[in-house]
Amino acid sequence: MILPIVAYGDQVLKKKAVDIDKDYPELEALINNMFDTMYEANGVGLAAPQIGKSIRLFIIDASPFEDKEPDLKDFVQVFINPIIVEESGEEWSFNEGCLSIPSVREDVMRKPKVLLRYYDENFEYYEEEFEGLAARVIQHEYDHIEGKLFTDRLSSFKRTLLKGKLNDISKGNVEVDYKMKFPKK
Ligand code: NI
């Protein structure tokens, strides 16, 4: 089932999300719905707050980045209750977008390596290191469950330039070809 994606300006995107346990109601259906929703919108990642649920869960399918990093061909994963233990390396720039902020793309600086503790959809525990674009997508989605957006990582100058556009998005004044929920519409 395809769910509406919450747009910029909604308070749920600013909230720090909470951990869940394996008894979370209809978790499997929720994860399936999140994959349907992400694929419908041609995204490479989707975090639960983006469908209105303030819980620490995100999904990733980075296979569209296969041309840039062949290893990502099969990078399809569910992350539950993740914790970034450490980020390391020299910050690098990558042009990011977000399904909650359609039509906005900006270069964002982040570190290239991330050590992550998380559970998968079967509540198996992992501690794993990711790098490059895998790390990048994880950091972007992780920000969502911390109540942060990539626009929060831009310079105040860039944020000022984007202000009108972001306000338009929150009102639904934006061209988008997937289902969204706009807070000020
Ligand atoms: Ni996003």
Question: In this structure, what DSSP letter does residue 16 have?
Answer: P
Residue 124 Cα to ligand 1 middle (Å): 25
pLDDT value at position 136? 98
Residue 24 Cα to ligand 1 middle (Å): 23
Contact residues for 35 (Cβ-Cβ < 8 A; gap 6+): 59, 61
Q: Which helix (H) or strand (E) holds 109?
A: strand 106-110
Q: What amino acid positions are annotated as catalytic residues?
A: 141
Residue 72 and residue 88: Cα distance in Å, rounded? Answer: 20
pLDDT value at position 144? 98
Contact residues for 133 (Cβ-Cβ < 8 A; gap 6+): 62, 65, 68, 69, 72, 94
Give tens-digit pLDDT for 46-77.
999 999 999 999 999 999 999 999 999 999 99
* Confidence bin at 125 (pLDDT 50/70/90): very high
Residue 165 and residue 50: Cα distance in Å, rounded? Answer: 19
pLDDT value at position 129? 98
Write out the two tokens for 81. Answer: 């209750």
Average pLDDT, rounded, for the chain: 97
Give tens-digit pLDDT for 139-156.
999 999 999 999 999 999
| CATH class of the domain comprising 5-181 | alpha beta
Domain range summary for the chain, segments of one domain joined by +: 5-181
pLDDT value at position 62? 97
pLDDT value at position 57? 98
Contact residues for 26 (Cβ-Cβ < 8 A; gap 6+): none
Residue 41 Cα to ligand 1 middle (Å): 12
